[in-house]
């Protein structure tokens, strides 16, 4: 692993769910210093209660200043105007953000840092902080998220890619699109926190009470329940098999009206990361139903590897990145295909966590992925390299 470096990392909010960004950055922090910059926004805000609460929290966090949250990790919450389609707002953001970050870096003693950014909205400030390298790590097709100004996001992302010394992507479709703007673009597929999720295979891991009380068999899902999750598949399965239970774990950010009347569909809410292996232990079968669109086709679902590391039999929409693990994932496009796979698994007793399935993920650890990233970072800045595709 690379070591002894200072990294300025533009990420999502530190207090959010531990997405790929946190998995990567916290591992880099074992031997490097990190300034984690909370989200500078991707989509346009609304007047919803969720967005108002989030805005208020950002003001409070900003007033607290830079704070140390873990060994070698300090978090700074910037104030930005989240209207990326406005040139005036972006000019103001650039000046204020650059000034506040330089001030914070001086306090931390950062000199000649590496900027590692995961968000296109950092384009106006990345490269203007006295850093020696700029790395863009792209894990989604950000312009395809609901509520974004797609034109503005694409324009910012293109500028960020062109100014970056290195671009890393998490999916093959992203490799195809981003390397058009930077030849030094490389693919590193997502990893997984194997030891954490493997706890689902351990006899002593407790099953949380709210799912332990649900009648089996339990068909489970955890993750953000948003508009990219195909809830019509869940509805069709629940209606077809009322004797099965469907546990949906995660924050709900989409319409679930059609599922609320169904007594065998249980929305259990967002759960702490530490408790997820216990919930996985209660699943008989895990499902990963996605709608089929430009956003999901470029996605590399982190939950896929987490389900597998927990040893669970998994049925998923056959997205391109899911197909890399087709030897251990069951593929389904329709509710009938999901139903067929679940019935077969239940009939054969191939349900619940299986240590052999979990062990198949040993080479997919985040530690392996950080070693791949470190090798790329260690290459000389500005050098031309052949395109690399690190497969799953």
Answer yes or no: do 110 and 173 share one domain: yes
**Helix, strand, or coil (residue 4):** coil
> Do 207 and 343 sit in the same domain of this protein?
yes
pLDDT in tens, 202-261: 999 999 999 999 999 999 999 999 999 999 999 999 999 999 999 999 999 999 999 999
Q: Is 129 among the domain residues?
A: yes
Nearest to residue 73, comparing CAs of 42, 116, 40? Answer: 116
Angle at 32 between CA 29 and CA 36, to 5 degrees: 55
- Is residue 198 a contact partner of residue 358, using CB atoms and an 8 Å limit? yes
Q: Do 307 and 383 fall within a single domain?
A: no
Q: Are 43 and 6 in contact (CB under 8 A)?
A: no
1 in any annotated domain: no
Residue 109 near residue 127, CB atoms below 8 Å: no
pTM for this entry: 0.86
One domain for residues 11 and 151: yes
pLDDT in tens, 268-325: 999 999 999 999 999 999 999 999 999 999 999 999 999 999 999 999 999 999 999 9
CB 28 within 8 A of CB 73: no
- In this structure, the answer to whether residues 199 and 255 fall within a common structural domain is yes
pLDDT-derived band at 264, boundaries 50, 70, 90: very high
| Residue 348 forms part of a structural domain | yes
283 found inside a domain: yes
SS3 39: coil
Specify whether the CB–CB gap between 167 and 135 falls below 8 A. yes
First to last CA, the chain: 20
Does residue 286 belong to any structural domain of this protein? yes
Residue-wise pLDDT tens digits, 15-70: 888 889 999 999 999 999 999 999 776 555 555 665 566 556 656 666 677 899 99
Question: 26 and 37, same structural domain?
Answer: yes
76 with 209, same domain?
no
Judge if 222 and 353 occupy the same domain: yes
pLDDT band (50, 70, 90) for residue 386: very low
What is the number of structural domains in the chain? 2
Name the residue among 104, 83, 140, 103 with its Cα closest to residue 321.
140
Cα separation of 173 and 389, whole Å? 11
Going from the C-alpha of 252 to that of each of 227, 246, 249, the distances in angstroms are 10, 15, 9
Q: What is the mean pLDDT of the chain?
A: 90
Co-location of 11 and 135 in the same domain: yes
Length of the chain: 392
- Give a yes or no: residue 304 inside a domain: yes
Q: Show the tokens assigned to 337.
A: 């295909």
Backbone angles phi, psi at 67, to 5 degrees: -135, 145
Q: Report helix angle 20-28 to 366-378, nearest 10.
A: 70
- Give residue 148's pLDDT: 81
**Residue written as tokens 């968000």?**
119
Q: Are residues 344 and 372 in the same domain?
A: no
Q: How confident is the model at residue 92 (pLDDT cuts 50, 70, 90)?
A: confident
110: left (phi over 0), alpha (psi -120 to 50) or beta: beta
In which domain, by residue range, is 341 found? 194-362
Same domain, residue pair 137 and 186: yes
Do residues 38 and 64 make contact, with C-beta atoms less than 8 angstroms apart? no
Examine residue 115 and state whether it is found in any structural domain, yes or no: yes
66 lies in the same domain as 11:
yes
Reply yes or no on whether the pLDDT at 387 is more than 50.
Answer: no
CATH number of the domain at 325, please.
3.40.50.2000
DSSP code string of 190-259: --B-HHHHGGGGSTTPPPPHHHHTSPSSEEEEES-B-TTB-HHHHHHHHHH-TTSEEEEES-B-S--TTT
Contact partners, residue 144, CB within 8 Å, separation at least 6: 150, 293, 294, 295, 298
Using an 8 Å Cβ cutoff, are 239 and 262 in contact? yes
């Amino acid at each position: 692993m690379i070591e002894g470096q200072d990294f300025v990392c533009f990420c999502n909010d530190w207090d959010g769910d531990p997405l790929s960004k946190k998995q990567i950055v916290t591992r880099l922090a074992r031997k490097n210093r990190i300034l984690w910059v909370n989200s500078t926004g991707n989509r346009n805000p609304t007047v919803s209660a969720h967005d108002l609460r989030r805005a208020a929290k950002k003001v409070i966090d900003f007033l607290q200043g830079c704070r140390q949250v873990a060994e070698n990790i300090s978090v700074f919450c910037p104030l930005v105007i989240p209207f990326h389609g406005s040139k005036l707002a972006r000019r103001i953001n650039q000046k204020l953000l650059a000034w506040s970050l330089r001030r914070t870096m001086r306090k931390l003693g950062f000199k000649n840092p590496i900027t590692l950014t995961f968000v296109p909205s950092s384009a106006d400030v990345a490269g203007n902080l006295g850093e020696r390298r700029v790395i863009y790590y792209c894990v989604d097709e950000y312009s395809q998220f609901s509520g974004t100004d797609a034109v503005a996001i694409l324009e910012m992302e293109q500028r960020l890619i062109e100014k970056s010394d290195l671009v890393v992507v998490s999916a093959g479709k992203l490799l195809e699109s981003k390397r058009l703007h930077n030849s030094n673009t490389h693919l590193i597929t997502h990893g997984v926190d194997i030891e954490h999720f493997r706890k689902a295979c351990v006899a002593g891991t407790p099953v949380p009470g709210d799912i332990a009380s649900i009648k089996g068999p339990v068909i489970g899902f955890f993750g953000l329940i948003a508009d990219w999750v195909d809830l019509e598949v869940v509805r069709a399965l629940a209606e077809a098999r009322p004797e099965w239970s469907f546990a949906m774990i995660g924050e709900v950010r989409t319409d679930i009206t059609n599922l609320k009347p169904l007594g065998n569909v249980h929305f259990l809410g967002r759960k702490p990361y530490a408790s997820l292996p216990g919930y996985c232990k209660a699943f008989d079968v895990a499902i990963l139903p996605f709608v089929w669109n430009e956003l999901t086709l470029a996605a590399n679902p982190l939950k896929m590897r987490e389900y597998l590391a927990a040893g669970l039999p998994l049925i998923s929409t056959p997205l391109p990145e899911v197909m890399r693990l087709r030897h251990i994932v069951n593929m389904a496009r329709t509710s009938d295909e999901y139903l067929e796979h679940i019935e077969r698994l239940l009939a054969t007793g191939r349900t619940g966590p299986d240590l052999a399935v979990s062990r198949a993920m040993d080479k997919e650890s985040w530690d392996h992925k950080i070693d791949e990233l470190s090798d790329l970072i260690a290459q000389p800045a500005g050098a031309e390299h052949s395109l690399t595709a690190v497969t799953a």
